[in-house]
Structure 1
C-alpha cells in the first residue's frame, strides 16, 4: 500500500493503521501495533474501532487480534476491475503463457514501485517473489525498468527518487546513474531484462505497454530461471512478447479513454 498519509488527517491515520496490520501478514494484537505506532494509545484504539465498524478490519474476541476485513476484498476486486489492466489483458497473457511455456507477469507502476496485477503460470512454474497483488522494486525488475524507460523526465526523476537501490544480488543496479544509463538502452531497444537483479536464479524479458501517445500504462514480462534458460535464450520470446504488448495497448485505449 502507498505510504501517503502525511497531512491527510484522520483518513491518513486510519490508512497508516491498515498498512501496519497488512505488513504483519497475520492477525496482530493491540500491544504490537501500539509498540510500532506514532499515535497515542487512545487514538490508536479509536482508529482500530472505526476500522472494525467499517469492515476494513475484523476483530477476534477469542484471540484478541486484528486482521484485514472482508470489505477490503470487495474493494480490491473493484480496483482490479476498474483501475488495472488485468481484466483487459488476461486473454492476451493467457495466450502468451501457453505460447512460450513460461510464466507471464503483468505489472503497473504504483508510487514508484511495481504492482503485479496478474500472473499466469507455465506448466512447470518456478517459485519466485512476484504474485498478483504484491509490490516489488522498480529499479531491479524487468517490468519496472520497462515502464520507467518510457516515463517523461519529470516523472522519471520523481520515480527514481523513490527507489531504495538496495543491493539484492551482485547484479543489482545500485545507483541512479547506472539505472538511467540502462533505461536509455531499454528505450532504444524496446525491451528490458532482469539479469538476476532482484532474485538469484530468476531472469526475464519485459516490454512496456504504451498508449497511442507512448505513455506507459504497464509492462509485461516472460520470466524463467537460470536452471532452464539463459538471458540470451530470452531473446526468442521477444516477438511474441512485443506482439502481446501491442494487442493489450490497443485493447486498453477504450479503457483509458472511454467514448
Structure 2
C-alpha cells in the first residue's frame, strides 16, 4: 500500500528543536565536535600558532589537534602557512560570520550613519552589541588618521572597560544588571579601569543622565572612547555606536563636543531599525 504525499501519516509537525532540548548532559553532546570547536575558537583568538604551540597551550595531544586542524582545513575554516609553519583561521570562517551579520539589518543600516559619524568627528566609528556578557564588535569605519583605534568585526571586549559596553549596561534593568555584574570579572587593564561594582553602578547612573558613556583609558592607556546606546522597538538597548581614538586627539576637553554627533548617530540608527528614541533619564 502506497502513501500519498498528502496522507496524514506522512505529515509531521515541523520542529526547530528535538525533545530534551534543555538537556545539556553528555548524552546530548558530541565530544569530538566540542573538542574541535575548542581548538577552532582558541585559534581564532591566537592566530598564527604552530601545532606544538596549540597542543601545549591547550593541553591536547598533538595528534588529536592535528586531526582537528586537517578536518577544519578541509572545510576552509582554517589554513596552514607552509612558509611559517603556523595555522590561521581560514576564509570560510569569515563567510559564515558574515551570514550571522546578515540575520539583521542592523549592520547594513549602520554603515552610512557610521561613515558620516567618522567624517564628522574625524575618529574611528564602531558598532557593537552584547554577546554573553561581552561586547561583540560588528562593524567599524576607520579614520584616515595614521594613529587609530582598531576593533575588527568579531572582536570581543569586556563590558566594564568599553564605551559601548557601559552604554549597554547603563540601560539594563536592575535584575539583569546585577546578574551581569555578579558573573563579570571586573579586571583592571589600566590604572583607570573600574573594578568595583559600586563604582561602576555610579558611572552607569551618570551615563543614563547624560545619554553617553566614556571609556577613559579604561581598556588601553592612551585611547579614549565615547559611546551611545541604540534602542529597539521595545525600548531596549540592543547595540551601541562609538567613536574612539588617541587621547592626543580625543582630549578630555573635547568629550562634550564629540558626544553630540555620537548621540545623534545612535538616534538615527535607532529610528532606522524601527526603534524608540529615549531621552536621557535617571
Residue in 2 aligned with 1:151? 172
Asked if the contact 2:36–2:68 (Cα under 8 Å) also holds between the matched residues in 1, the reply is yes
Deviations 1:158-203 (A, max 9, x none): 3324433222222110122211221122123221111221122222
Shift of 1:43: 4.2
In the other structure, the counterpart of 1:252 is: 273
Deviations 1:43-78 (A, max 9, x none): 444433432333222346776543322211211222
Which entry has the higher C-alpha Rg, 1 or 2? Answer: 2
2:210 alignment partner in structure 1: 189
Aligned to 1:121: 142
- CA deviation after TM superposition for structure 1 residue 18, in Å: 0.3
Q: 1:210 aligns with which of 231, 237, 240?
A: 231
Residue in structure 1 matched with residue 51 of structure 2 by the alignment: 30
Q: In structure 2, do the counterparts of structure 1 residues 154 and 43 end up closer, same or farther at CA, with 3 Å as the change threshold?
A: farther
Aligned to 2:186: 165
Measure, in 2, the Cα distance between the counterparts of 1:109 and 1:91: 22
Query: Residues 38-187 of structure 1: matches in 2 within 5 Å?
Result: 38-40=59-61, 43-59=64-80, 65-83=86-104, 85-187=106-208
CA contact (8 A) 1:148 1:183 kept: yes
Native 8 Å contact 2:51 2:62 kept in 1: no
TM-score by length of 1: 0.83
- SS at 2:251 equivalent: coil
Aligned-residue RMSD, C-alpha: 2.7
Partner-residue secondary structure (3-state), 2:160: coil
Residue ranges of structure 2 left out of the alignment (5+ in a row) = 1-23, 276-282
Query: Could you list the per-position Cα deviations for residues 224-248 of structure 1 after superposition, in whole angstroms to 9, with x for gaps in the alignment?
Result: 3322242232211333222211111
TM-score with structure 2 length normalisation?
A: 0.77
Alignment correspondent of 2:43:
21
Aligned residues between the structures: 249
Q: Among residues 220, 228, 231, which one is paired with 2:249 in the alignment?
A: 228
Q: Give, in angstroms, the shift of residue 205 of structure 1.
A: 1.9
Contact 2:123 2:142 in 1 (8 A): yes
Cα–Cα, structure 1 residues 149 and 125, in superposed 2: closer, same or farther, change >3 Å? farther
TM-superposed deviation, 1:11: 3.1
Whether the 8 Å contact between 2:122 and 2:143 is mirrored in structure 1 is yes
The whole-number CA distance in structure 1 between the counterparts of 2:82 and 2:25 is 32
- 1:19 deviates by 1.6
Residue ranges of structure 1 left out of the alignment (5+ in a row): 255-259
Q: Aligned-pair distance for 1:6?
A: 9.6
Distance 1:193 1:50 in 2: 44
**Cα distance, 1:121 vs. partner?**
2.5
| Shift, 1:89, TM fit | 0.2
